[in-house]
Amino acid sequence: MTTITATDIEAVTAQLGRAPRGMREVASRCPSGHPNVVQTSPRLPDGTPFPTLYYLTCPRLASRIGTLEASGLMREMTERLEQDEELAARYLRAHESYLAERNAIESLGTEVSAGGMPGRVKCLHVHVGHSLAVGPGVNPFGDEALALLGDWWTGTDCA
């Protein structure tokens, strides 16, 4: 695990508009060096379960993902799961990977991961965060959404 710096905490606080909760590390950074995904503890400091292991913090990226969600993309992705056995198998592996990563930190005693996995696509923010944190090839819908977003970080400083 990498050390969280005061600068990282300040950046994430500015991005979220509040202090981050349960932040373990910066899991991904945008090309400008700012955090865009943090890894969170499976339980918040007060003991509340927090299943979103990779929490997307970049407001620009979150906004662009929200636009994808509003387009009906998640419904289309879920329909494809029902029709494409290979895609469904890859998505199941993403779910299993997510659970294994979270359980390696602390098990919540559940087979529920995040973002609707493995049966539907419920939150693209989770899937994009997963793809950015672990790299391409693990979460097919996170990878697909990132490809649709293109160079989301260009234009102005994202902090």
Within-domain flag for 58? yes
Above pLDDT 70, what percent of the chain? 96
SS (H, E, C) 55-103: EECCHHHHHHHHHHHHCCHHHHHHHHHHHCHHHHHHHHHHHHHHHHHHH
The verdict on whether omega for the bond into residue 59 sits within 30 degrees of 0, i.e. cis, is: no
Which residue, among 1, 3, 20, has the nearest Cα to 12 in the 3D structure?
20
Residue 157 domain-assigned (yes or no): no
CA dist., res. 43 & res. 40, Å (int):
8
Q: How far is CA 62 from CA 33, 36, 102, 137, in A?
A: 17, 9, 22, 21
pLDDT higher than threshold 60 for residue 2 = yes
Residue 37 lies in a domain: yes
Tens digits of residue pLDDT in 86-125 = 999 999 999 999 999 999 999 999 999 999 999 999 999 9
Q: 1 falls in which pLDDT band (50, 70, 90)? A: low
Q: Which amino acid is at 9?
A: I
Asked whether residue 60 is domain-assigned, the answer is yes
Tell me what pLDDT residue 70 has. Answer: 96
Say whether pLDDT at 3 is over 70. yes
Structural domain contains residue 10: yes
Domain that holds residue 48: 6-149
Looking at the 3D structure of the chain, how many domains does it have? 1
Tell me how far the alpha carbon of residue 43 is from its chain's centroid: 17
Q: What does the pLDDT read at residue 127?
A: 97
Residue 32 within any structural domain of the chain: yes
Distance CA 77, CA 90 (A): 13
pLDDT tens per residue across span 35-62: 999 999 999 999 999 989 999 999 999 9
Residue 158 covered by a domain: no
Q: What is the pTM of this model?
A: 0.93
Q: Residue 86 falls within a domain, yes or no?
A: yes
